Amino acid sequence: MPGPEALLALLISPVLLTVALVLSGPWRLFDSQPPLDLMRELEQRQQDLSCLAASAQARASPSAARRAEVAEPLGCAQLSGLSDVGVVGAGITKLVLRAVLSPGGEEIALKSVHWAGSDVSRCVQRYGHAEGCFQLAAYKLLKETILLQTLDHEGIIKLHGKCYNNSLYPEMKVVSMLELGSPLEMIQLLQLPWEERFKICLDLVELLNYLANSPLGSIALLDFQPRQFVMVNGLLKVTDLDDVSTEELSCKTDQDCILKFPTKTFFLKCASHGNCKEINEKRNLFNAY
């Protein structure tokens, strides 16, 4: 069976990627016991993920629940029928691919853990345990999937399905399947007519309002960059939700709720429940501005 280096080469070659998707082989969770510090990180991520899943289940909007019941989600079986697979991009944690479903011919995006990304690389350098580091990075993808299943807004990328399969090669053990969008290019935006740019601004405002009042509470986009957004049929959508906060900063006094930016400082109130009121909303608004 090819090792991680050979598999990474397959992923870099779009022509051979479909082969990598359908191949299976033996996979043990850990060939060796991870270092204690890595085990602690894994346990903390698992605990955080369990809390998020419980909160999502308890607070999911009725529309999201109905959508989950009606829609027939994609799963692992669809990975074997992909064609025209290519690389869209790669970040510090995830690799994003595009592919065509068969039958039907619909284009979708695939997200998986990026073995060569800095998240996994730094972890391996620190702990020397590739499998544990993969699992640590995979928790981010799982977190994003839970959020996409729970949140229901046209400004959030649509989740078509997911595949969790330990028998697949490491790169494809955890895959989310999403609607495919076009990267947000600032130069192209500046060349659009003002009416289209104004509509995109309205899309962003509506998204921020939803995030401030979501079923999970106020959500902050901690990595608020153009690369976190795509355009789908002329509509602006956020596509990266692994680096978000669904909790507002805890506090004891108003002094704990000072939000500082290079050009602006917000003085917020410490609410009676011990959290900084509207701090996530203010963070999103300033970053969007």
pLDDT, tens digit only, all 289 positions of the chain = 334 333 334 333 333 333 333 333 223 345 678 899 999 999 999 999 999 999 888 887 666 656 655 567 888 888 888 888 899 988 899 999 999 998 778 999 999 999 889 999 999 999 999 889 998 999 999 999 999 999 999 999 999 999 887 665 555 578 999 999 998 888 888 899 999 999 999 999 999 999 999 999 999 999 898 889 999 999 999 999 999 999 999 999 999 999 998 888 989 999 988 999 999 999 999 998 8
Q: Is residue 41 assigned to a domain? A: no
Range of the domain at 273: 183-288
- If we measure between CA atoms, which residue out of 78, 98, 79 comes closest to residue 22? 79
- C-beta neighbour count of 58 within 10 angstroms: 9
Q: Is residue 168 assigned to a domain? A: yes
Domain end: 181, 209, 228, which one? 181
Helices (H) and strands (E) in the chain, counts: 9, 12
Q: Is residue 101 assigned to a domain? A: yes
Q: Is residue 279 assigned to a domain? A: yes
β-strand partners of 144: none
| Same domain (yes/no): 196, 169 | no
Asked if 249 and 256 count as a contact pair (C-beta separation under 8 A), the reply is: yes
Q: Is residue 145 assigned to a domain? A: yes
| Same domain (yes/no): 176, 198 | no
Q: What is the CATH number of the domain that holds 85?
A: 3.30.200.20
State how far the alpha carbon of 17 is from the alpha carbons of 80, 82, 189, 255, in Å.
11, 9, 32, 53
- Give me 86's structure tokens: 């290519």
Asked if 226 and 187 count as a contact pair (C-beta separation under 8 A), the reply is: no
Residues designated as active site:
223
Q: Is residue 64 assigned to a domain? A: no
Quote the pTM value: 0.82
- C-beta neighbour count of 10 within 10 angstroms: 19
Domain end: 142, 162, 181, which one? 181
Residue 246, C-beta contacts closer than 8 angstroms, at least 6 positions apart: 52, 55, 216, 217, 218, 219
| Same domain (yes/no): 240, 276 | yes
DSSP output for 61-75: -HHHHHHHHHS--B-
d(CA 71, CA 160): 9
| Same domain (yes/no): 88, 106 | yes
Q: Domain count of the chain?
A: 2
